[in-house]
Amino acid sequence: MFDKQLTVRQAFFMRLTYFFKFLEYRCYGKTLATLTLLLALIWLQVPAQAQGKIDPDSVFKEAQTLAFAGNHDQAKTLLRQLIKQAPAYQDAQVLLGRIHAWNGHYDSARLVLNPLTKTDAINLEAITALVDVALWSNHPNQILYLTQEGLRTHPQHQELLYKKAKALHLLKRPSEAKATLSELLAVNPAHEQGLALVAALQEELAKNSLYVLYELDAFSKSLDNWHTLSLTYTRHLKRGSLMGRAYVANRYEQTGTMLEADFYPKLNDNWYLYLNAGGSSASFFPKFRSGVSVYRKLWRGFEAEAGLRYLRYEQNTFIYTGSLSKYWGNFWFSFQPYFSPTGQEISRSYFFTARYYYGEGAEFLSLTLGSGFSPDDRNKDLSLLPSSTLRSNKIRLDAQKKLTPLLLVTIRMGLDHQEYLPSTFRNNFTFGLGLDRRF
């Protein structure tokens, strides 16, 4: 825009020069022609200089409109010309830095924005722009430093307080993040992003969980309904999660209980274990059960397991298992087989689970398809496990939804087509409802 104005002006002066030279040659003396030319140039210089001046605010608004419309290259061209002619116009430098950041050119954004933070009067807009650059390029320590710099002069700046809390959250410093959010909500109690982060922190700071689940099993023939109530307490420790569980069940016109404990100790960032032990005096629960598995995190979201389960009813039953799991976006997939030697044969079971996480992460929808009996399913008649000739096909749907940040509801529906005697089948319908309270 500026280059075009200069070109038109220069052409206009060139034509005037030629005109007055013609006058000098054809009509007038040198003195008169020279004086006339000088006066004309003086007269024309004023509007020419006025034409060469620009309105920085108008050019900035034009560049801003282009940038927000996605015309980043045109906006950058205007901003560079504006900065060249008005170097002190810092809003143009901030917008140019943001455009670089929007395009993923983080180093270029820092080159433009950093000088604005080195002066005595720190440009707050430049600070907030650099905070976004650090956030988008995943540098939480840089976010923390920049927000603290800005908050020194603007201690109640809402965006800086929120971004500081977010940085502390990313740095695994939840208590400090919670304190920063308290400052933010004291300034603006309705800050939506701050309230959402508070809810997320409440979940992370909750080290305990109490989960109650009721399950009803109805059969198409040969059995009355089963009722099972379980209560699970979980404590999250630095070295892993410890769980205690109690079952109270009514089956075969009897009521019985089973107690067990699970522990998931972390060995390091890639390895952890599963340990289980429990037992019961009821005939429909195993007298003793135990389990152990080793888990290894692999590349690209894969995880592998190798383990052993032991059940003792009238005879000892050993089940060998393993699994391969994969996280893919919001999905989790897992395939797990079980193998149990029984005399000359081996009982085999296979289970596949697909789970979709939505909402705040703890919410999910899950589908499980299976063939055979699983020793990890406490709600089934595991005394059938040693019978390698008996078949079972299963489908189950699970859904978990938050009622509040620390209270979740679980719904379960399933269908098993079971062979409980040779060539004799029945349908087992399952419905479950659970509540999980974290604190």
- The tens digit of pLDDT for each residue in 192-208 reads 999 989 988 988 889 99
- Residue 385: its pLDDT value, please? 60
Residue 7 has pLDDT above 70, yes or no: no
* Greatest pairwise CA separation for the chain in angstroms: 132
Has residue 376 got a pLDDT over 80? yes
Residue 267 has pLDDT above 70, yes or no: yes
pLDDT digits (tens, 9 = 90+) for 57-88: 999 999 999 999 999 999 999 999 999 989 98
pLDDT for 15 beyond 70: no
What's the mean pLDDT when you consider all of the chain?
A: 87
Tell me, what's the pLDDT at 222? 82
Q: What is the mean pLDDT of residues 2-20?
A: 48
Task: Return the sign of the alpha-carbon dihedral for residues 274, 275, 278, 283.
Answer: positive
The pTM of the full predicted model, rounded to 2 decimals, is: 0.69
pLDDT tens digit string along 220-245?
A: 988 899 999 999 999 999 899 999 99
Binned at pLDDT 50, 70 and 90, residue 99 comes out as very high
pLDDT for the residue numbered 6: 41
